Structure 1
Amino acid sequence: MPTSTPSPKASRAPATKASAKKSGATKKAGPGKKAGLGSDQLAQPVTVLKGVGAALAEKLAKLRIHTVEDLLFHLPLRYQDRTRVTPMGAVRRGDEVVVAGQVALADVTKGRRKALIVRLSDGTGSITLRFFHFNMAQKNQFQKGTLVRCYGEARPGASGLELYHPEYRLVAQDHPMEMEDHLTPVYPLTEGLTQNRLRQLIHLALEELKKAEVIDWLPQSLFPNLPSLKESLLLLHEPPPDAPVYDLKDYKHPSQHRLILEELIAQQLSLLKLRQQHKHHQAPVFHSTGMLSQQMLAQLPFPLTGAQSRVIHEIERDIQQGSPMLRLVQGDVGAGKTLVAAMAALQAIEAGYQVAVMAPTEILAEQHFNNFTQWFTPLGLEVAWMAGKLKGKARQTQLERIADGAPMVVGTHALFQETVEFKQLGLIVVDEQHRFGVHQRLSLREKGQQGDLYPHQLIMTATPIPRTLAMSAYADLDTSVIDELPPGRTPIETVALADTRRDEIIQRIAAACHQGKQAYWVCTLIEDSEALQCQAAETTFDDLKERLQGLNIGLVHGRMKPQEKAEIMARFKANELQLLVATTVIEVGVDVPNATLMVIENPERLGLSQLHQLRGRVGRGDQQSYCVLLYHTPLSKNGKARVAVMRETQDGFKIAEKDLELRGPGEVLGTRQTGLAQMKIADLVRDQYLLNDVNKAANQLIEHYPENLTPLVERWLGGAEQYAQV
């Protein structure tokens, strides 16, 4: 029977003949048990399924599907109801429906865009099928009177409601119309893999699941009112026609609830396991007189804030213990985190150990290098430097200084390259940790291992982490918050203007710069392309140079050489440049107190936390500072919400909470945060009401079911959990 897209039911491959061996599932599995569902067949690679060769297996691997069991945990995003035919007269705009009717006409139109138009009627009404990609053989299928069943989304068109490129099937007049016997799942895909092919494979996996005795690594006693794992998987992949569609859509179905809880518990256990392993290691105990710290404080032109003093004492307690410190220090833009890190570093140095400070970008690393050099040189302390741009003799010199025991080493990810060897690393400070993978931080920790001793770790972030995320994303860390800004800071006034007022803003910049102040003009990301972003910055730079000929203007973007960027930034800091045109490379680490005006073009393209970071580049002195959000109309609903929040508050934690709500945890934390950005069914924003239950269940599992922990974590995180084994 001719068809454009076969229905999954009609084209299913027969189930594999290999029978699943039963494993004697239990509620509490012994330590020797395989970390799977309890069936040898389910633990097999996907290539045991009929029709899965090396090429298809490679595509599935991009979805983190390697075994038959992985297919079962590749869960639907949503569902389509193909179990019933909807009368055409009852179809409404936006409905996704199955309709069936006879062809009234089929014709090719040659307007602005060539299209095949097929008009169907079922006696209750009519609907049009529209195909922009077709051939004449396809057109000839639609003979007048032919019965056609099709599925698609109803949209308004020139001739009433239309289905664009629907899935369809020609139906014999004397043949009963076969419908799906369950809701049709829609899965996440990758290039080269279709929904129908993936549905076929998951159907084969479900046939194996039905024969298997499944191990529930989450004991039923923890959540007695929820269905079993096996029941949940079978229902979610093939919900019956009477399943509550709205509950499934809102992730409120008991079967979804069951799997969401299990995934969140697995994530929590993974981080608690990492913390537990870390606490079992030994670390150097820093006994210091505090002499260097006192000398440092004496040379500062300002006192510490109460919040800084509190966090310094929390760190002191940690580094005087015999187990490695693993502490996250959160502080809003300008709260003085680097100074807190410096005080911790001096205690390590006085105790005879080296300190490494790692930053995600060379601009930020250079800012730290300059700060530590300024603070430590008067104390007689050497500060070494390591970055990817160092080559030849200069690199070799720095490598030798580090190996010989330079007390303070500042750099980028180049610090954990194999050629870098420390003499006695006692403390690691990682800035903006979420921009590194967890494995990178642990690689640096391994470098500092001296016999049985591991270095202490201090993690800093200027991106406030909402409590919801902190509970789940950083369960392996102790947390300190610097919730107080240094005195004398004037709040930044934020205004939002349409880009039709661009000329007015340029005049305002000219006036401010002629008064001796400095300004930033930030060009944001265009279509996730660094090349286009840099091009936009260059175009803006040329335009502003033409229109502001009395000013010295600089340009910084991600494709410039690091040395070139550093020179421009140094000139801006020295007030040799009055205006700096930049991409978001200036998001962190740039400290120019004389800069009082920032223009952010197209702020709707950025997340709130990133906008907050950018805004924090001004307002660093005692002068009134301004941030102009120059948006392009019309703003989307999310765009309006972001702009409104930026105008209403400068509280980084409130901004982070709203950012989490608008963008989700993967974006807020950064996509390199292992595991969290790629949850299979859980969502930290939607499901945050479950986190207290998750924490309780995780602790009960640790206490009463320790043998279940590893298989439960491996089931949900797979290879992503390996960082916990370091």
Structure 2
Amino acid sequence: MSEKALPSLAQIDITALKGVGKQLAEKLARLHIYTLQDLLFHLPSRYLDRTKITPIGALQPGQNAVIQGIIKASDVVYGRRRSLMCRLQDGTGTLTLRFYHFSGSQKAKLTPGSHVRCYGEARRGSSGLEMYHPEYEFYDEQSQLVLPDSLTPVYPVGEGITQSRLRGLISQLLPQVNKQNVPELLPSSNADISLAEALQYLHQPPVDAAVDLLMDGLHPYQQRLAFEELLAHNLSLLRVRDKIQSSQAPRLPDNELSHERFLSSLSFKPTGAQERVIQEISHDINKPVPMLRLVQGDVGSGKTLVAAAAALQAIANGYQVALMAPTEILAEQHRQNFSHWFEPLGVTVGHLNGKQKASTRKEQLAATVSGENQLIVGTHALFQNEVEFADLGLVIIDEQHRFGVHQRMALRAKGQHGIGRPHQLVMTATPIPRTLAMSAYADLDISVIDELPPGRSPVSTALVANERRQQVIDRVKSACSEGRQAYWVCTLIEESEALEAQAAEVTANDLQQQLSGLAVGLIHGRLKPSEKETVMAQFKAGEIKVLVATTVIEVGVDVPNASLMIIENPERLGLAQLHQLRGRVGRGSTASHCVLLYGQPLSEYGRARLSAMRETNDGFKIAERDLELRGPGEVLGTKQTGEMQFKLADLQRDANLIKRIRDTARAISAEHPELIDPIIQRWLGQVEEYAQV
């Protein structure tokens, strides 16, 4: 690569770097690195302090450190897994290096007498302190290795790309970086720190760097880049919104069917919050531009009623409505609720899911494309290619965080024939902290149902160690003998439907033996839809007293007589998921209880999370705590989807930047629209494809 200043790093292919051929370029592409600009903006996720050597005798479990010494013994051992174990001594103590994945050449080099310097995390192991797969290098006793004089960056890496390889490529690139080939794109009032200078600093922090600030992500250079990254996400979502709202949508005026007839037919009066949100939606869908609205409400706040009023407003104007739910159980519950409400009003409710019989599916597809089905309830099966609608006017998506942006856009695209795009209403019972919602859902208007219907009883929550399991079983027996019902939820670390089902079956059999005389039911993801429906119907009817379930019952199940919820191994679930599960009880007037039956030992982190459940029933407070403990990718359910994955920014830490970012995004859109594409491309690159929908 030329030593001259580069014209634009965004236009130069990654293969311009020395040593990057076709094979390495393909591996870098998996990290979304295609150009030199992509590489430059592939930022460290954290830093390691390798500037000093720690004596083995001073090491503490959990400590990351540089150690060095002489290998005294090296053997391949055969336990549950084969591993290469090397005993390293430095005069102050002994530590084991353990490698579960090793090559013949590694084994041949890591032999007694070798001088090795390692970096890794010390952990307690079967042989005392151990380091698993540490980074290491050999040194000669006469010519000691030089320690780095700056912090060592740690980058997100992928298969076939090591930290040292990535550091080498970035070291090769940094001398070429200057203000000309990394142009400032922010309006001058927001760019008081040079972008090129900030990037060079963060890839290679100098000796006198403020280590504490860097480790916490609060260094001014990090904040400079976090601001621009959050701005790129905001602009990307606003562009999605602008593109959608530049198209037509059917006007759906308010009408007698959706409000007077429906609401007056109910046996209860909607809360003030429900009435307010119904009006906000009604106002939106009466416009000829697509509605994009997110309705947030805590467990049991009555989002379904709000959705029903919106659906009837669309149906009364001659359009179809699609309602998508993340699980078959929730979709079935919606189908039952809406059929109960709508059929007396003469509205036909259809349903589609992935496990229907071929004949039923064919019948439902025909009724949907002909317009006979006015409301179609289903799972992700709704947005498959074979599903066609006659006149889709409104899309309702329940539990928004379970679906990716691509999925909700695929469903919305179903309505684009003649009438423009359908309106879109997305709902979540997982309250999203305000700062997170402002960033993650910048393309949506937000309504909050902040009032629970009267008659809901608060749920008391207790943390109980698994050693007291028998006492918990006795408590279940007592509650059921008084005419109440209980849930018993099984969880597993492995996300395996088969293993979860197996664990639930074992638990159900065990409980059936200990709760003789009480009917124990079982529900899990591997049951056929008809079997799930039968079990749920029996539980709702009171024929089953204790329902053993996996987390498939997390959302949508409404059994007012169930007043006790036992959750096994709650430390394995997120706070939002625990709050959802707890929301299955407390739906009647009887005092309800949730028991978190945790395994020992419980980590400090695990205890902090479970304590938050005990301290409050407020979903928004729990969401704030969840965000603080787990990060936005987990809270939004997007960790595996590639959306909202930040290089540097942190929505919780950088919440103070959000207002200025929104103001800047509006100013750029109005005064400097030519900057939008370059900013988005710089930070999101080819990940931003969904904005093209």
Same fold flag (TM > 0.5): yes
CA distance in 2, matches of 1:505, 1:157: 34
Distance, in Å, in 2 between the alignment partners of 1:493 and 1:294 is: 38
SS in 2 for 1:139: coil
Figure out how many residues of one structure are paired with residues of the other and give that number: 680
Percent identity over the alignment?
56
What does residue 378 of structure 1 align with?
344
Residue 190 (structure 1) aligned to one of 158, 161, 167: 158
Quick one: which of 363, 371, 374 aligns to 1:407? 374
Find the aligned partners of 2:336 and 2:307 in 1 and give their Cα distance: 14
Specify which of 290, 310, 313 is matched with residue 279 of structure 2: 313
Q: How does 1:220-299 map to 2 (within 5 A)?
A: 220-224=188-192, 226=193, 228-299=194-265
1:723 aligns with 2:690: yes
The separation in 2 between residues aligned to 1:261 and 1:399, in whole angstroms, is: 47
Larger displacement relative to structure 2 (132-141 or 517-526):
132-141
Displacement of 1:343 after TM fit? 0.9
Contact 1:284/1:426 (8 A) holds in 2 = yes
Distance 1:70 1:110 in 2: 41
Which amino acid is the alignment partner of residue 457 of structure 1?
Q
Cα 1:212–1:158 shift into 2, 3 Å: same
Aligned residue for 2:103? none
Q: Is the 8 A contact 1:520 1:580 kept in 2?
A: yes
Counterpart amino acid of residue 594 in structure 2: C
Structure 2, unmatched stretches of 5+, are: 100-105
State whether residues 587 and 614 of structure 1, in contact with CA within 8 Å, keep that contact through their aligned partners in structure 2. yes
Question: What is the DSSP-based 3-state SS (H/G/I as helix, E as strand, rest coil) of the residue aligned with 1:236?
Answer: helix
Q: Secondary structure at the match of 1:540?
A: helix
Distance (Å, rounded) in 2 between the aligned partners of 1:325 and 1:201: 46
Separation in 1 of the partners of 2:54 and 2:294? Answer: 59
- Please state how far the C-alpha of 1:659 moved relative to its aligned partner: 1.2
2:433 corresponds, among 466, 469, 472, to 466
Q: Which residue in 1 is equivalent to 2:19?
A: 51
| Aligned partner of residue 680 in structure 2, secondary structure | helix
What amino acid maps onto 2:184 in structure 1? D
Match of 1:699 among 657, 663, 666: 666
Amino acid at match of 1:429: I
- Do residues 65 (structure 1) and 33 (structure 2) align? yes
What TM-score do the two structures reach when normalised by structure 1?
0.87
CA distance in 2: counterparts of 1:356 and 1:295, whole angstroms = 22
Report what 1:651 is aligned to: 618
Partner of 1:592: 559
State the alpha-carbon separation in 2 of the partners of residues 412 and 549 from structure 1.
Answer: 37
Kept after mapping to 2: 8 A contact 1:20/1:212: no
Larger Rg: 1
**Cα shift at 1:703:** 2.4
1:246-645 alignment, distance < 5 Å: 246-405=212-371, 406-451=373-418, 453-645=420-612
Contact 2:440–2:644 (CA<8 Å) still a contact in 1?
no
Displacement of 1:110 after TM fit?
A: 11
Q: Is 1:167 the counterpart of 2:136 in the alignment?
A: yes
Between 673-682 and 706-715, the greater mean CA deviation after superposition: 673-682
Distance in 1, Cα, partners of 2:461 & 2:124: 42
Within 2, Cα distance between the matches of 1:150 and 1:353? 67
**Residue type at the aligned position of 2:487:** Y
Structure 2 CA distance for partners of 1:61 and 1:114, relative to 1, 3 Å: closer
Is this contact kept in 2: 1:274–1:724, CA < 8 A? yes
SS at match of 2:11: coil
Distance apart, 1:724 and its partner CA: 1.6
Question: Residues 454, 166 of structure 1: CA spacing in aligned structure 2 closer, same or farther, 3 A cutoff?
Answer: closer
1:639 positional shift: 2.0
Shift, 1:585, TM fit: 0.5
Does 1:663 pair with 2:623?
no
Q: Secondary structure at the match of 1:239?
A: coil
Report if aligned partners of 1:526, 1:533 keep a CA contact under 8 Å in 2.
no
Give the aligned CA root-mean-square deviation in angstroms: 2.9
Distance apart, 1:461 and its partner CA: 0.9
Following the alignment from structure 1 to structure 2, what is the Cα–Cα distance between the partners of residues 609 and 517?
Answer: 26
Give the SS at the match of 1:670: coil
Find the residue that maps to 2:488 and give its secondary structure: strand
Question: Structure 1, unaligned stretches of length 5 or more?
Answer: 1-16, 24-37
- Separation (CA, whole Å) in 2 of partners of 1:304 and 1:581: 33
Report the alpha carbon displacement of residue 196 of structure 1 after superposing the two structures with TM.
1.3
CA distance in 2, matches of 1:594, 1:570: 13
- Whether the 8 Å contact between 1:448 and 1:455 is mirrored in structure 2 is yes
**Judging changes above 3 Å, is the alpha-carbon distance between structure 1 residues 561 and 181 closer, same or farther for their aligned structure 2 residues?**
same
The match for 2:102 is none
Match of 1:80 among 48, 52, 58: 48
CA contact (8 A) 1:496 1:628 kept: yes
CA distance in 2, matches of 1:169, 1:274: 53
The 5 Å alignment of 1:93-172 reads: 93=60, 106-107=72-73, 115-120=85-90, 126=92, 128=94, 130-132=96-98, 135=107, 138-139=110-111, 141-142=113-114, 151=119, 167-171=136-140
Deviation at residue 539 of structure 1 after TM alignment? 1.2
Shift of 1:574: 2.1
